[in-house]
Structure 1
Amino acid sequence: MFHAASSLVPSPRSPQSEKDQHHQSPDRRSKQRDAFFDNAKYLAIVLVAVAHAWEPLKGGSRVLQAAYMLVYAFHMPAFIVISGFFSRSFDASPGKLKRLVTGVAVPYIVFETAYPLFVGYASGTHQDITLLDPYYLTWFLCALFIWRLTTPLWKLVRHPLPLAMGIAMLASVSPGIDDDLDIQRVLQFLPFFVLGLYLKPEHFRLVRRRAVRITAVPVFAFALAFSWWAVPRMDTAWLYHRGSAQELGVPWWVGPLMQLALFGCSLLLTACFLSWVPGRTMWCTALGAGTLYGYLLHGFLIKGADYRGWFDQPWLHRPLGEIAVSVVMAVAVTLLCTAPVRRALRFVVEPKMEWAFRTDPVRVAREREREREREQEREKASV
C-alpha cells in the first residue's frame, strides 16, 4: 500500500527487482509509477471526502441522498480492490512486515489517538481513547492490516473468492460478532480485497476499453435513478457493511442476499469508475502518492466544521450550497495530498522507525558487498 506508505495502496510500479529499484534515482523510480492507479486513487479519495461532506447536508435533499448512496456503493470497494491488487507480493517477509507496521499500524495508532482528542476538544466532551474501536476513518487501516496479514493464506487456499464471500455472508447474519476492531466491516468487505489479490494488469486494461467507457454512461445514469428510487426504501447502513441483518431490523436471510447483490453492484460500478480514469500523466497524478494523507486528514476538517455548526447554515442545504461544499472539500483534500503536507507529516504517517527493528545481518552484508562492487567499478572507470 505504499512507497513506504505514502498512499492508500502500494506504490504502483512496473515490475522489477528489488536490486534494480535500490540503485535507481528517485526521479527514475517516480517515473515508473503507473499513472492510471495514481489517478484512480486521487479521484477515489476526492469522492470519499466529498461524500463525507454530504453527510450533514443530505437529510433534506433526495437528490443528494441518491448521489450519496451511489458514491458509497463503489468508492471504498474500488479502494479495497486496488489495495488487494497491490498486496499480491506480500509474503510476511521481514521487510514486508516492517512496511506493514510503519505504513499501516503506526498511522492507525497515531490517528486513533488523535481523532478522539480532537473531537473532545472541538465538542467539549470527553472521548475515550481505545485502539480496539476504530474511530470514523481509521477502520480502513485496521482492516487493511488484518487483510494483508492473511494474504499468504488467500494465496494458498483453493477457491479463495467463494470462501471470502461465504465469510462475508456469514458475518451479515452474525449479530454476536464483537465490535472490536470493526470486525464486521473487516469481514464484509473482505471479498473485494481477495478479488484484488487475484486480478492481473490485463483485467484493468480490459475495463479501460472504449466500449466499456461508453457503456459506463447509461450504467451510472441508471444507478443514480435507482438510488433516487431507493432513498425512502433502502437503509443506507447496508452500504457501510458494519452491521448484521438482524441489527438492521430485517430477517436473517436478507443479509446473505444483500451481500451478494451489493458485491455485484459495487463491482459493476467500480469497473465503470475505473473505465473513466485517465491512464496518462496529468496534473493530479502525483497526488495519487499522497492519498493516505488526504484520507486521514480530511476527517479533521469534516468533524471540525460539524462541531462548530458550519453545516447548519441554511444556504448550505440548497443546491448551490451543496455544490459549494463539494467544491471546497474537493479542493481541501487535494491540498492535503500535496508534497508539502506529506513532507510535514511524514514522521507520523510513514515513519522509518529504524530504531524499532533489528538489523538483518544478511541484508547489511549484501549492501556492503554491493557498495564494494560499486566502488570497484568507479575505480576501474577512473583508470
Structure 2
Amino acid sequence: MTNSQRTYGNRRAPLPPAESLADGVPSPRTTHKESARPAPPVRQRDAFFDNAKYLAIVLVAVGHAWGQLLDVRAVETAYRVVYTFHMPAFILISGYFSRSFDLRPKYVKRLVTGVVVPYVVFETAYSLFERHGNDRPDHGITLLDPTYHLWFLCALVVWRVTTPVWRTVRHPLAVSLVLAALGSLSPRIGDDLELQRVLQFLPFFVLGLTLRPEHFQRVRHHSVRLMSLPVLAVATAVAWWSVPRMHVGWLYHKSAAEELSAPWWSGPVMVSGTLTCSLVLTVCFFAWVPRRHMWFTALGAGTIYGYLVHGFFVKAGIYAGWFDHPALREPLGAVGLTVLAAAVITLLCTGPVRRTLRCVVEPKMAWAFVREPAEAARGHARRENTEVRTQGERVPV
C-alpha cells in the first residue's frame, strides 16, 4: 500500500491542477485540516416564542373543547375570552417570523412543503373522516372550503405571498385595517379559502411584520404583567355580560355583518372594536409568557403537529356524542375536559408524533423542485472533492 496516487508501476501520477471553486468550498488540493473553516454560529431558538406558541396551541385545543359546551354560561364566558386573543397571538407571531419572506425559490419551497402540502393532505383526511366517521357518504373533498381549523393554513399562504406588498407600501397597518373593515361589509366574499377570515385577521399578521425584538421586550416588563390582571378581570366581566347580548360569531371573523343579523354599517364598528380588544388581551398574554426555558419550551417547535391533528379528537368526540354527557356540564366535568384537552395537545407536539408525521407535515420533496444554481454548484464541487479524495486513497500494490 502507498499513500500516493498510482497509475503504472511505482510511478506517481501528477495531481490535478488547482481549480477556482465557489466560496466556502475547499480546493481539491487542500487537506481537510487546511480547508476547514469555523462553522457559522448556530442560531438559537428564542425560548419566549416557543413558550408562547405552546401556550397558544393549548388554548386553541381547550377552546375547541369548550366550544362543545356553550350551553354553560361560565364555559362560554371563558371561551369568549380565549377566542378574543388566542388566534391573534398565533397570527402575530407568524407575521413576526415572516418578515424576511419574499418570493425567492427557497422561501417558496418552504411555503409549499410546510403549508400547502400539509393543507392538502389534512384537508383530504378530514373530509374522509367526515364522510366515514360521521356517516355522510355524500360529503365531498374540496380544497376551496377549509375544514374546521384548517382555514389558518389557507390564510397563511395568502398572507405570506403578499408579504412583499406589506413590506413595500406606506402605512401597511392602516391599509390592512381598512381591508379588514371592508371585509365585514359584504357576504358576497363567500367561503372560498375563508377569505373573510383572511381579511379580518390580516391586521395582526401585518402588525407582526412591523414589530421588532424590542417591542416584545416591552410587553414582558413587570409593570405590563401587573396591569394585565385588572384588564383580564374586566375582559371576563364583559364576556359574561356579552353572552346573551352579542353573537359569538363576531369573534370568529368569518362572516359579514348581514350574516350575523346585524346592519351593514355595524361590521366595521364591530371589527374595529373586537380587533382592539384582541390586541389588548394579546399583549396581556405575552406579558405572562415565560422568558426562560421551561419543561414545555421544546414543544413549541411542534405546535403545527398538534394544530393539524387535534381536530380528529374533537370531531371524533362530536361524532360519538361524548360531549353530550351531562357530567361535562358540571364544574368538575368541565375542568376535567380542559385538562384532557391540554394533555392531548401536549402529547401531539412531542418528538414521537413529529417523527411519525414529518413526511406529510414537513416533507423534503427535493424531487419536486428545480435546484438553484448555487445549490447545484455546491453539489458539483462536493462530488469533485469526493472523487479526488477517492483517487488519493491507498490502493493495492
TM-score w.r.t. structure 2 length?
Answer: 0.85
| 1:304-324 deviation line (CA, Å, top 9, x unaligned) | 011101111111111100000
Counterpart pick for 2:318 among 299, 306, 310: 306
The aligned counterpart of 1:335 is 347
Shift of 1:366: 3.7
Counterpart pick for 2:146 among 134, 139, 146: 134
TM-score w.r.t. structure 1 length?
Answer: 0.88
User: Separation in 2 of the partners of 1:266 and 1:370?
Assistant: 51
Q: Any conservation in 2 of the 1:85–1:197 contact (CA below 8 Å)? A: yes
Equivalent runs, 1:55-94 vs 2, <5 Å: 55-59=67-71, 61-94=72-105
The aligned counterpart of 2:282 is 270
Please tell me whether residue 44 in structure 1 is matched to residue 20 in structure 2: no
User: Separation in 2 of the partners of 1:205 and 1:369?
Assistant: 44
Counterpart pick for 2:305 among 284, 293, 301: 293
**1:32/1:375 Cα in 2 relative to 1: closer, same or farther (>3 Å)?**
farther
Shift of 1:255: 0.5
Q: What code does the residue aligned with 1:89 have? A: S
**1:244/1:361 Cα in 2 relative to 1: closer, same or farther (>3 Å)?**
same
The aligned counterpart of 1:186 is 198
Q: What code does the residue aligned with 1:152 have? A: P
Unaligned segments of structure 2, at least 5 residues: 1-23, 25-37, 389-397
User: Separation in 1 of the partners of 2:335 and 2:133?
Assistant: 26
**1:207/1:373 Cα in 2 relative to 1: closer, same or farther (>3 Å)?**
farther
Shift of 1:361: 2.5
Counterpart pick for 1:346 among 358, 363, 375: 358
Q: What code does the residue aligned with 2:107 have? A: K
| 1:76-101 deviation line (CA, Å, top 9, x unaligned) | 00000000000000011000000000
Identity over aligned residues, as a percent?
59
The aligned counterpart of 2:33 is none
Shift of 1:368: 5.1
Unaligned segments of structure 1, at least 5 residues: 1-18, 377-383
Secondary structure of 2:146's counterpart equals coil
User: Separation in 2 of the partners of 1:373 and 1:238?
Assistant: 62
User: Separation in 1 of the partners of 2:203 and 2:359?
Assistant: 33
Shift of 1:24: 5.9
The aligned counterpart of 2:376 is 364
Q: Any conservation in 2 of the 1:119–1:304 contact (CA below 8 Å)? A: no
Shift of 1:121: 1.6
- Name the stretch that deviates more: 245-254 or 324-333: 245-254
Q: What code does the residue aligned with 2:182 have? A: L
User: Separation in 1 of the partners of 2:122 and 2:367?
Assistant: 21
Q: What code does the residue aligned with 2:58 have? A: V
Equivalent runs, 1:163-174 vs 2, <5 Å: 163-174=175-186
| 1:134-179 deviation line (CA, Å, top 9, x unaligned) | 0001100000000000000110111101101101101100111121
The aligned counterpart of 1:280 is 292
The aligned counterpart of 1:105 is 116
Please tell me whether residue 96 in structure 1 is matched to residue 92 in structure 2: no
The aligned counterpart of 1:162 is 174
Secondary structure of 1:105's counterpart equals helix
Shift of 1:336: 0.1
User: Separation in 1 of the partners of 2:210 and 2:385?
Assistant: 39
- Name the stretch that deviates more: 172-181 or 85-94: 172-181
The aligned counterpart of 1:218 is 230
Secondary structure of 1:243's counterpart equals coil
User: Separation in 2 of the partners of 1:236 and 1:291?
Assistant: 26
User: Separation in 2 of the partners of 1:360 and 1:159?
Assistant: 34
**1:70/1:362 Cα in 2 relative to 1: closer, same or farther (>3 Å)?**
same
What RMSD, in angstroms, separates the aligned Cα atoms of the two structures?
A: 1.9
**1:24/1:122 Cα in 2 relative to 1: closer, same or farther (>3 Å)?**
farther
Secondary structure of 1:52's counterpart equals helix
Shift of 1:359: 1.3
Q: What code does the residue aligned with 1:315 have? A: A
User: Separation in 2 of the partners of 1:240 and 1:375?
Assistant: 59
User: Separation in 2 of the partners of 1:287 and 1:184?
Assistant: 31
The aligned counterpart of 2:13 is none
Please tell me whether residue 200 in structure 1 is matched to residue 212 in structure 2: yes
Secondary structure of 1:266's counterpart equals helix
Equivalent runs, 1:107-126 vs 2, <5 Å: 107-126=118-137
| 1:331-375 deviation line (CA, Å, top 9, x unaligned) | 000000000000000001110001101111222214555898999
Counterpart pick for 2:155 among 143, 146, 150: 143
- Name the stretch that deviates more: 322-331 or 311-320: 311-320
User: Separation in 2 of the partners of 1:308 and 1:234?
Assistant: 30
User: Separation in 2 of the partners of 1:296 and 1:110?
Assistant: 10
